[in-house]
Amino acid sequence: MKKLSMKYVLAGILALCAILVLTGPALARTEFVSIGTGGTGGIYYPYGGGVAEIWNKYVKGVRAVAEVTGASVENVKLAHKGETVIGEVMGDVAVAGLQGLSKFNGKKHDILSLAIMYPNLLQVVTLKKYGITNIEQIKGKNISSGSPGSGTNFMAETVFKALGIPLDSYKDSRLSFTESANALRDGTIEVGVWSVGPGTSSILDLATTHDIHIITFTPAQQKKILAANKEYSAVDLAGGVYRGVDKAVPTIGVWNVMICQAGLSADLVYKLAKSLYEHQDYLLKIHPSASYTTPENAVKYSPIPLHPGTIKYLKEKGVTVPAKLMP
């Protein structure tokens, strides 16, 4: 075997160095952004997938992916631990996580708000054949209050407590949205709870094959619930969203917030917020609830302080950020 001449060896070394110089920094600049969403039967997952596509396309050096999770409570914990960097979370859960309340057992989580998404409506679904018309009739029934670690389960239990419904007065399967719809079809539960944007696929699909009824909340019940949680508001689910539900349904609403790790760089969050808001038209193709994802709503409805990167973008757009939302 012939020995390689020194000039070829040196040429090879120089070529390798050139490759490393050219590709090394590019590789180092890639930021991996994981988004904690929810189950596939709600809006969080497709919404998060759309956000990931926007960031991959418009934020140089970012590789984003939407991950199926247990939703709000789990997303706060995942972001805090660094297993994700972004999470889709209900506003009441974001406040509890930041302050270490309720299911967070005194542990404060390092999260801030990147953006406001859209409002969730509490949708308590049963089948007309069961004759359940008041939320207090769930006592002694088989229900699903939402999967463990979800914002739906968190909100359902908050509402039940406010109304004096003991948490041990019903049998709770704690299913995902898709599982709850299937269980209502099969008759294994009589009531399912959703906290989600109107027009969610799992309820829409159920309504095509079964006569559903969405339980209304009386003004007195709404008053008790709002007194127990300032992040909630009394709202109506519009008639006509689901087959067979033609009249408006008085219920409870809460805003969703896209949280991020508090320690993320302001430069990265600035670029993420900028591309999200400036390509809202793409998200609207995925779900009409994205119409609420605006800079103005970020300062109007964010339940927790905003990240400095988001604040930088909002100020550039001439949006005034109130002192209470400063980290």
The token duo for 225 is 């619930």
pLDDT above 50 for 8 = no
Find the CATH number of the domain harbouring 276.
Answer: 3.40.190.10
Closest CA to 125 of 144, 139, 140: 144
pLDDT above 90 for 213 = yes
pLDDT above 60 for 3 = no
Shared-domain flag, residues 75 and 162: no
pLDDT value for 28: 53
Alpha-carbon span 113 to 306, nearest angstrom: 4
Closest CA to 313 of 277, 260, 283, 261: 277
Shared-domain flag, residues 165 and 291: no
Alpha-carbon span 100 to 111, nearest angstrom: 11
Find out whether 124 and 135 touch, Cβ atoms under 8 Å: yes
Q: Is residue 166 part of a domain?
A: yes
Q: Is residue 7 part of a domain?
A: no
Q: What are the pLDDT digits (tens) for 101-118? A: 999 999 999 999 999 999
For 254, phi then psi, to 5°, come to -150, 140
Task: Give the end of a domain, one of 254, 269, 298.
Answer: 254
Gap between the terminal Cα atoms of the chain: 68
Q: Is residue 15 part of a domain?
A: no
Q: Is residue 93 part of a domain?
A: yes
Task: Give the end of a domain, one of 254, 280, 304.
Answer: 254
pLDDT tier, 295 (very low <50, low <70, confident <90, very high otherwise): very high
Instruction: State how many domains the chain has.
Output: 2
Alpha-carbon span 238 to 251, nearest angstrom: 10
Q: Is residue 77 part of a domain?
A: yes
Lowest-confidence region among 40-44, 125-129, 306-310: 40-44
Task: Give the end of a domain, one of 231, 254, 277.
Answer: 254
Shared-domain flag, residues 138 and 194: yes
Domain that holds residue 314: 30-117+256-325
Relative to beta strand 171-172, strand 191-196 is unpaired
Q: Is residue 299 part of a domain?
A: yes
- Report the 10 Å Cβ neighbour count for 107: 11
pLDDT value for 101: 95
Q: Is residue 24 part of a domain?
A: no
Shared-domain flag, residues 314 and 167: no
Shared-domain flag, residues 44 and 134: no
Mean pLDDT of the chain: 92
Q: Is residue 18 part of a domain?
A: no
